Structure 1
């Protein structure tokens, strides 16, 4: 991960947040497809194990990002990235239908981005 430190802080933050969100999305939702026949506690333990990798990326992302962003800006960035990772996951991995609601939710998040980053 040494190459990562040569990138600008915003890019380091975004890349780590994207990677952490991939793990988070799998931890939270993949069990619906892969472990649906297993007891809930098995799914919880597997999800917890996957979530460890999310935290190993999320914590450094926030620490690095906090050098340039406020906590509120980091949170809004996280939410935009979460939706950007979740929609393809839901459509392609879980075979959920692509809905207009994803677009509307994304537009609402863009409004949140505007308000958190204006004047920054």
Structure 2
């Protein structure tokens, strides 16, 4: 559970770092946006690195950690897209999400 929680927090910061400027920051110079995003990403790394270390020490493979991170990233981004960017979710998003989540399960099959 600590691995998942750390990955969720990490992904919240990374999503903000990558996409915050799309709403209300488009007038800022790109260099300023990059520097602000790097600052936010530094916080993200403070959660992502421990998440991977804790997960790996708990028996997760590197592949399982990466796939879990990507699945969490999609969930976090979906919430960000709706709540911050104001973009609606469509059935296509749900269908794509279900396909990806089904694929996420494969590396965990047979894991004790």
TM-score bracket, shorter-length normalisation: over 0.9
* Offset of residue 34 of structure 1: 3.0
| Secondary structure at the counterpart of residue 34 of structure 1 | coil
Partner of 1:25: 15
Q: Which residue of 2 aligns with 1:43?
A: 33
Distance 1:81 1:69 in 2: 16
Q: Normalised by the size of structure 1, how large is the TM-score? A: 0.87
Misfit runs of 4+, over 3 Å? none
Partner of 1:5: none
1:75 to 66, 71, 80: 66
> Over aligned residue pairs, what C-alpha RMSD do you find?
1.0
Give yes or no for contact 1:25–1:85 (8 Å, CA) kept in 2. yes
Q: Tell me if structure 2 keeps the 8 A contact 1:20–1:57.
A: yes
1:98 paired to 2:76? no
Partner of 1:16: 6
Secondary structure in 1 matching 2:23: helix
TM-score, normalised by the number of residues in structure 2: 0.93
Structure 2 runs not aligned, ≥5 long: none
Deviates more, 1:12-21 or 1:28-37: 28-37
